[in-house]
Amino acid sequence: MDNQHRLIEAIGKALTETPHELDGFTWAAQPQRDWCHQLDFSISTLNRLIKLPPIVRETRMIGGVKVTLLRIGTPGPETPYQIARKMACIWRKHLDGRLTTEREFGLLIGLAEDWPKGKQVEIFKTILANWGGFMAGVKLSTYGTTSMEKDRFYRLPSISVIRRFHAVGVEQYLIEQQSGMKG
């Protein structure tokens, strides 16, 4: 039996013994090292195999342990968590390796939930690429209010400010899209 079939059998066994529910699916959940030990695979072999259909993979922290979640099937729709991971990667690249905190990651999930579906990552990129324009929009949106944001300017991007003024980011994205249209 080849390695992929052995892994599929192990997933099936784990699904019956210790199923884990996440995002509307039932997953086989174990730390990566446990999958490797159980199947006598190297980490590189496991990583290669879990990228191949029909295996669907996800990773999460469960009980303070990083767990590799596996199931057989087709990928489901992209979740806010997965979109937030993409935005966190963009954030890290844009800010020279600065990681998001747990709180900031939660704010990114909120942005992924509130922004228009399928546009979240593009809106986030737009804001980071033109932070000054975003902050100008924030200032305009708070004009005439008692908000302290009207008197502040954050030189570096702030996820908490983006989350608080998420509607400004959508407007900035739409304006950029419209200005780029030929006509």
pTM of this structure = 0.81
Which residues touch 19 (CB under 8 Å, ≥6 apart)?
26, 27, 28
Beta bridge mates, 19: 28
Give the relative orientation of helices 32-39 and 3-17 as an angle to the nearest 10 degrees: 120
**How crowded is the C-beta side of 54, counted as CA atoms within 13 Å?**
9
pLDDT score of 46: 95
Share of the chain above pLDDT 90, in %: 80
Which residues touch 100 (CB under 8 Å, ≥6 apart)?
88, 91, 92, 108, 159
pLDDT score of 29: 95
8 Å CB contact between 154 and 135: yes
Query: What band does 78 get if pLDDT is binned at 50, 70 and 90?
Result: very high
pLDDT score of 141: 84
pLDDT score of 144: 60
pLDDT tens-place string over residues 119-134: 999 999 999 999 999 9
CA distance 168 to 80: 20
Is it the case that residue 143 has pLDDT exceeding 80?
Answer: no
8 Å CB contact between 62 and 49: no
Question: For the chain, which residues make up each domain, given as ranges?
Answer: 3-72, 80-179
> What is the 8-class DSSP label of residue 61?
E
Is it the case that residue 155 has pLDDT exceeding 90?
Answer: no
Beta bridge mates, 61: 66
Beta bridge mates, 79: none
Mean pLDDT confidence for 29-56: 95
CA distance 26 to 93: 33
| Strands, sheet with 65-72, edge to edge from the N-terminal-most edge strand | 19-22, 25-30, 65-72, 55-62
* Domain 3-72 fold: Phenylalanyl-tRNA Synthetase; Chain B, domain 1 (3.30.56)
8 Å CB contact between 27 and 58: yes
Query: What band does 183 get if pLDDT is binned at 50, 70 and 90?
Result: very low
